[in-house]
């Protein structure tokens, strides 16, 4: 019994005009269900309001706020104030409400006198879910989407705000990833990362402040536990490729397909003859990376067993 | 005898590392050849220098300057100052030199006290030539390229500069096209367009000044003399489609394929059931447009015969 109703369409057909009763999702506070089905049209605003309260309640001490809006993951819902406001349909309306929400949070930080000692970092977890068509977003010129290790699946916005410390209106072309947020946050808080394990994050602080280039010279693209691709500087090598979720068999490339992401960010034109020094460095770094991997206990399975 | 040399590769293979001697093009002043082959590495800078002189020589009277840089059309050449400067290879270097050049022209206008009574409009003639791969540019999220009537072939940047008259740093989402430049320029100069013929341009002035919305509610997409597609507001109907130059047979759609460019600017998802009122208006407007077309003498053929 999931309360979805008999008229619920299957899969993707639900999403152009979603109804709350088709998605019997719970809204939880800690481990307690407080609402079911969640009234999703007001979810963005309620998250924003809750975040503003957390900022105000903690303004006199250091705090770390991780705010993960549910949207623009499908099913998409916007409040009445934003429905029909954009030219990009429901997806655009949802994004406008998120944009408004971020503005509310920045205003709150400024009102509380916290703007000059708070780093705000805005990012996303993956590219568009392309099988959901225009309800799933767009990767622009980038190839592929969510579930693939093409840039369209992996590259996300990264916007940093810290008036007086991070210069405004500038674009850094350096490589960074969400794993770097952990290391950066610890660095800014004056701590140090654990030394009893391999930590993949790199401190972004000098790059964010404009004091120097980013220190991430490489990036490894995984699907699950399998290495699909590796990037060294502007060169990206694909060992395995899948366009996204749903395709059953991956394509394997040996030798790898190599693209120059500076000249060809859309990964349209594999290099016919990748430079030998690039291939040598790639092999060396990938081997080093692989040897640094140690399987760890699944934190999710551990939680479920508790 | 075209002086191209025996080692000139065929077609697209010339363009990743072009040499001046492979392209025996003349540089002309009016109808006189002044240099052959044109020393293309300095072409952008020389056009810029010439344009600056024209501005200075005409600063005391009204003038109209049409400056059509040869690049980023292939073959691509940049001066030594810009070679290797960008992260986007030769194409990026060429664009950086064009960007620098435009800056030189804006500086010249400001230095000569002309900034507040000069409209500068920056645009292009078509989208990327995709068969030239990364040497041909990119249409970003738009579908298709040069030679097609998908948005990737037809949509171009349109940047207007006129300090004190056109508000800076704003984005207008209105429809406009290069045919509108003629009508706008005449309007700004206090003239009126000829009334003895059909003129397709629309005066952009109110839209540019931020005084009101654009007045172009429709646009017709041609390849040669054939109507391939029509846009009414956000809806675009394709009657005929070709991905670009080189494909021999066009695909014909009857009924037309209709896309909503607001929700789906990438033209990925044709509407299953276009709104009947949209289809009715489309039919009416296209018929009116077709009836307004009168064949005229080819100006190019006339010139050649002279």
B132: nearest CA partner in chain A: A269
Q: Which of A88, A140, A264 is closest, CB to CB, to B262?
A: A88
Alpha carbon dihedral B120, B125, B127, B128, in 10-degree steps, equals -100
Question: What size, in residues, is chain B?
Answer: 306
Give the residue from A72, A94, A73 showing the smallest Cα distance to A82: A94
A133 with B269: Cβ contact below 8 A? yes
B134 with A269: Cβ contact below 8 A? yes
Q: What is the mean pLDDT of residues B74-96?
A: 96
A227-241, pLDDT tens digit by residue? 999 999 999 999 999
Q: Is the pLDDT at B6 greater than 60, yes or no?
A: no
In contact, B145 and B244? CB cutoff 8 Å: yes
- Report residue A295's pLDDT band, with 50, 70 and 90 as the boundaries: confident
A91 with B263: Cβ contact below 8 A? yes
Among A168, A261, A263, the residue to mutate for chain B (most B Cβ within 10 A):
A263
Q: Is the pLDDT at A278 greater than 80, yes or no?
A: yes
Contacts of A72 (CB under 8 A, 6+ apart): A91, A94, A95, A98, A137
Among the residue ranges A52-56, B27-31, B187-191, B242-246, the one predicted with the least confidence is B242-246
Q: Which of B92, B141, B268 is closest, CB to CB, to A133?
A: B268
- Report residue B1's pLDDT band, with 50, 70 and 90 as the boundaries: very low
Q: In whole angstroms, what is the distance from residue B200 CA to residue B28 CA?
A: 31
A173 with B87: Cβ contact below 8 A? yes
Instruction: For B192, list phi and psi in degrees, rounded to 5.
Output: -140, 145
pLDDT at A224 (0 to 100): 87
In the block, tokens 């030998």 appear at A276
B260: nearest CA partner in chain A: A88
In the block, tokens 């077309």 appear at B293
pLDDT at A6 (0 to 100): 57
Q: In whole angstroms, what is the distance from residue B270 CA to residue B259 CA?
A: 5
| Three-state SS sequence of B2-59 | CCCCCCCCCHHHHCCCCCHHHCCCCEEECCEEEECCCCHHHHHHHHHHHHHHHHHHCC
- Report residue B194's pLDDT band, with 50, 70 and 90 as the boundaries: very high
Residues of B in contact with A266 (CB under 8 A): 138
Residues of A in contact with B271 (CB under 8 A): none
Q: In whole angstroms, what is the distance from residue B220 CA to residue B236 CA?
A: 9
pLDDT at B5 (0 to 100): 53
| Three-state SS sequence of chain A | CCCCCCCCCCHHHHCCCCCHHHCCCCEEECCEEEECCCCHHHHHHHHHHHHHHHHHHCCCCCCCCCCCCCCCCCCCCCCCCCCCCCCCHHHHHHHHHHHHHHHHHHHHHHHCCCHHHCCEEEECCCCCCHHHHHHCCCCCCCCCCCCCCCHHHHCCCEEEECCCCCCCCCCCCCCCCCHHHHHHHHHHCCCCCCCCCCCCCCCCHHHHCCCCCCCCCEEEEEECCEEEEEEECCEEEEEEECCCCCCCCCEEEEEEEEEECCCCCCCCCCCCCCCHHHHHHHHHHHHHHHHCCCCCCCHHHHHHHC
- Measured between CB atoms, does A281 come within 8 Å of chain B? no
Q: Is the pLDDT at B265 greater than 50, yes or no?
A: yes
Among A15, A87, A92, A261, the residue to mutate for chain B (most B Cβ within 10 A):
A87
Structure tokens at A1: 């019994």
pLDDT at A237 (0 to 100): 98
Structure tokens at B77: 């050449």
- Report residue A281's pLDDT band, with 50, 70 and 90 as the boundaries: very high
Q: In whole angstroms, what is the distance from residue A21 CA to residue A71 CA?
A: 17
Residues of A in contact with B92 (CB under 8 A): 262-263
Q: Is the pLDDT at B283 greater than 60, yes or no?
A: yes
Q: Which of B134, B173, B264 is closest, CB to CB, to A264?
A: B134
- Measured between CB atoms, does B87 come within 8 Å of chain A? yes
Beta-strand pair B32-35/B235-241: unpaired
pLDDT at B2 (0 to 100): 47
Please identify among residues 124-143 of chain B the ones whose CB lies closer than 8 Å to any CB of chain A. Answer: 133-134, 138-141
CA distance B270 to chain A (A): 11
Q: What is the mean pLDDT of residues A37-58?
A: 98
- Measured between CB atoms, does A233 come within 8 Å of chain B? no
Q: Which of B88, B173, B266 is closest, CB to CB, to A262?
A: B88
A88: nearest CA partner in chain B: B263
pLDDT at A37 (0 to 100): 95
Report the 10 Å Cβ neighbour count for B119: 16
pLDDT at A247 (0 to 100): 58
- Report residue A2's pLDDT band, with 50, 70 and 90 as the boundaries: very low
pLDDT at A296 (0 to 100): 84
What percent of chain B is modeled with pLDDT above 90? 81
CA distance A134 to chain B (A): 6
CA distance B264 to chain A (A): 6
- Report residue A3's pLDDT band, with 50, 70 and 90 as the boundaries: very low
A153-184, pLDDT tens digit by residue? 999 999 999 999 999 999 998 999 999 999 99
Beta bridge partners of A27: A35
Question: What size, in residues, is chain A?
Answer: 306
Q: In whole angstroms, what is the distance from residue B246 CA to residue A95 CA?
A: 39
pLDDT at A177 (0 to 100): 96
Q: Is the pLDDT at B304 greater than 80, yes or no?
A: no
B207-218, pLDDT tens digit by residue? 999 999 899 999
In contact, A140 and A103? CB cutoff 8 Å: no
Q: What is the mean pLDDT of residues A95-111?
A: 98
CA distance A302 to chain B (A): 42
pLDDT at B286 (0 to 100): 97
Residues of A in contact with B272 (CB under 8 A): none
Contacts of B267 (CB under 8 A, 6+ apart): B142, B143, B144, B150, B151, B236, B259, B261
B264: nearest CA partner in chain A: A134
Q: Which of B89, B134, B263 is closest, CB to CB, to A134?
A: B263
- Report residue B131's pLDDT band, with 50, 70 and 90 as the boundaries: confident
- Report residue A9's pLDDT band, with 50, 70 and 90 as the boundaries: confident
String of DSSP letters for chain B:
-----TTPPPGGGGSSS--GGG--PPEEETTEEEESS--GGGHHHHHHHHHHHHHHHTTTS---------TTSSSP---TTTTT-SSSHHHHHHHHHHHHHHHHHHHHHHHTT-GGG--EEEE-SS---GGGGGGS---TTS---TTS-SHHHH---EEEE-TTTSPTT--------THHHHHHHHHHTT----SSS-------HHHHHTSS-----EEEEEETTEEEEEEETTEEEEEEE--STT--S-EEEEEEEEEETTT-TT--S--SS--HHHHHHHHHHHHHHHHT------HHHHHHH-
Q: Is the pLDDT at B244 greater than 80, yes or no?
A: no
pLDDT at A255 (0 to 100): 94
B263 with A88: Cβ contact below 8 A? yes
Q: What is the mean pLDDT of residues B43-69?
A: 97
Residues of A in contact with B89 (CB under 8 A): 260, 262-263
A134 with B268: Cβ contact below 8 A? yes
pLDDT at B262 (0 to 100): 94
A139 with B140: Cβ contact below 8 A? no
Q: Is the pLDDT at B175 greater than 50, yes or no?
A: yes
B92 with A263: Cβ contact below 8 A? yes
Q: What is the mean pLDDT of residues B237-242?
A: 94
Average pLDDT, chain A: 92
B234 with A87: Cβ contact below 8 A? yes
Among B15, B130, B244, B263, the residue to mutate for chain A (most A Cβ within 10 A):
B263
- Report residue B246's pLDDT band, with 50, 70 and 90 as the boundaries: low
In our burial notation (b when 16+ CB lie closer than 10 A, e otherwise), range A107-131 reads ebbeeeebbeebbbbbebebbbbbb
In contact, A162 and A184? CB cutoff 8 Å: no
B132-170, pLDDT tens digit by residue? 889 999 999 999 999 999 999 999 999 999 999 999 999
- Report residue A16's pLDDT band, with 50, 70 and 90 as the boundaries: confident
């Amino acid at each position: 019994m999931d309360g979805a109703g008999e008229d619920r369409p299957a899969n993707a057909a639900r999403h152009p005009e979603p109804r709350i009763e088709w998605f019997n999702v719970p809204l939880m506070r800690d481990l307690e269900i407080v609402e079911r089905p969640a009234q999703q049209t007001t979810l963005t605003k309620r998250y924003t309001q809750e975040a503003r309260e957390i900022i105000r309640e903690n303004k006199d001490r250091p705090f770390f706020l991780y705010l993960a809006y549910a949207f623009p993951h499908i099913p998409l819902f916007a409040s009445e104030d934003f429905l029909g406001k954009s030219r990009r349909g429901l997806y655009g309306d949802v994004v406008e409400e998120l944009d408004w929400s971020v503005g509310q949070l920045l205003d709150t930080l400024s009102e509380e006198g916290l703007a000059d000692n708070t780093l705000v970092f805005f990012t996303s977890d993956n590219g568009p879910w392309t099988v959901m068509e225009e309800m799933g977003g767009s990767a622009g010129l980038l190839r592929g989407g969510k579930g693939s290790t093409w840039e369209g699946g992996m590259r996300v916005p990264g916007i940093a705000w810290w008036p007086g410390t991070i210069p405004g209106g500038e674009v850094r072309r350096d490589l960074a990833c969400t794993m770097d947020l952990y290391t950066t946050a610890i660095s800014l808080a004056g701590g140090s990362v654990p030394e009893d394990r391999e930590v993949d994050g790199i401190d972004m602080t000098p790059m964010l402040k404009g004091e120097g280039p980013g220190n991430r010279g490489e990036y490894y693209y995984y699907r699950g536990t399998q290495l699909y691709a590796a990037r060294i500087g502007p060169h990206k090598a694909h060992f395995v490729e899948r366009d996204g979720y749903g395709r059953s068999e991956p394509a394997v490339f040996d030798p790898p397909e190599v693209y120059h992401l500076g000249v060809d960010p859309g990964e349209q034109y594999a290099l016919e003859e990748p430079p030998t020094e690039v291939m040598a460095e790639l092999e060396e770094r990938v081997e080093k990376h692989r040897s640094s991997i140690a399987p760890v206990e699944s934190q999710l399975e551990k939680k479920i067993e508790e």
